[in-house]
């Protein structure tokens, strides 16, 4: 039982706790990353736009009505050159060989902002807001307490087994 609780605490995620307005992803230099649109297929009148940075620089779009399917990898001094792949079935965007592409990405579908994604590198991980920091601290404390309880339970169980075996051998 304690091991189940410990496992659940260790792998519990904070999805939904802070709303769906954005998600954070952390990558190592050289990794590839797919930014999902959550679409299974693109309809004939859909317009999908991926933007980067605080100025929302357009880096990829699919416009079925205008019959346009494009990545704009030459923007921002060619930062994305030859490293953007746009899926024409789902509208998902893949960034290959991440180096300096950390930052703010947003997805717009039919003029409505659907997703905000913050990508950071493990070299420059930033902290979170005060509410999330407190929740993470509390969860860390709970995991620590659960670990101590498991160790105490395990030690007591082994000691009880050893004492039981000792009593059993003394009687014979």
Give pLDDT, residue 85: 93
Helix (H, G, I), strand (E, B) or coil at 121: strand
What is the per-residue pLDDT across 78-100, written as a single tens digit (0 to 9) for each? 888 888 999 988 889 888 887 76
- Domains of the chain, by residue range, sit at 19-124, 127-172
| Burial per residue of 120-135, b for 16 or more beta-carbon CB atoms within 10 angstroms, e otherwise | ebeeeeeeeeeeeeee
Rounded Cα–Cα distance for residues 155 and 170 (Å): 22
Give the pLDDT confidence score for residue 121 in this predicted structure: 63
Q: Name the region of 83 (left: φ>0; alpha: ψ -120 to 50; beta: rest).
A: alpha
pLDDT at 13: 40
Torsion angles phi and psi, residue 8, rounded to 5: -65, -40
Point out the residues of the chain with pLDDT beneath 70: 1-22, 26-27, 100-101, 121-129, 168-172
pLDDT at 8: 39
Q: What's the pTM value of the predicted model, to 2 decimals?
A: 0.57
Q: What is the pLDDT of residue 125?
A: 45
Domain 19-124 sits in CATH at 2.60.40.10
- How far is the C-alpha of 64 from the C-alpha of 79, rounded, in Å? 26
Mean pLDDT of all residues in the chain?
76
Q: 10 with 158: CB under 8 angstroms?
A: no
Residue 61 is predicted with a pLDDT of 93
């Amino acid at each position: 039982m304690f091991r189940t609780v410990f496992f659940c605490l260790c792998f519990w995620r904070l999805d939904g706790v802070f709303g769906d307005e954005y998600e954070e992803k952390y990558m190592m230099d050289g990794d590839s990353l797919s930014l999902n649109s959550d679409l299974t297929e693109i309809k004939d009148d859909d317009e999908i736009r991926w933007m980067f940075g605080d100025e929302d620089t357009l880096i990829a779009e699919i416009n079925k009505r205008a019959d346009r399917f494009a990545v704009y990898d030459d923007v921002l001094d060619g930062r994305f050159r030859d490293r953007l792949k746009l899926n024409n079935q789902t509208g998902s965007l893949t960034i290959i060989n991440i180096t300096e592409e950390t930052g703010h990405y947003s997805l717009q579908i039919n003029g409505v902002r659907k997703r905000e994604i913050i990508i950071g590198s493990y070299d420059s991980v930033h902290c979170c807001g005060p509410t999330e920091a407190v929740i993470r601290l509390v969860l860390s404390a709970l995991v620590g307490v659960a670990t101590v309880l498991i160790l105490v339970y395990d030690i007591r169980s082994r000691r009880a087994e050893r004492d039981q075996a000792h009593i059993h051998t003394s009687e014979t």
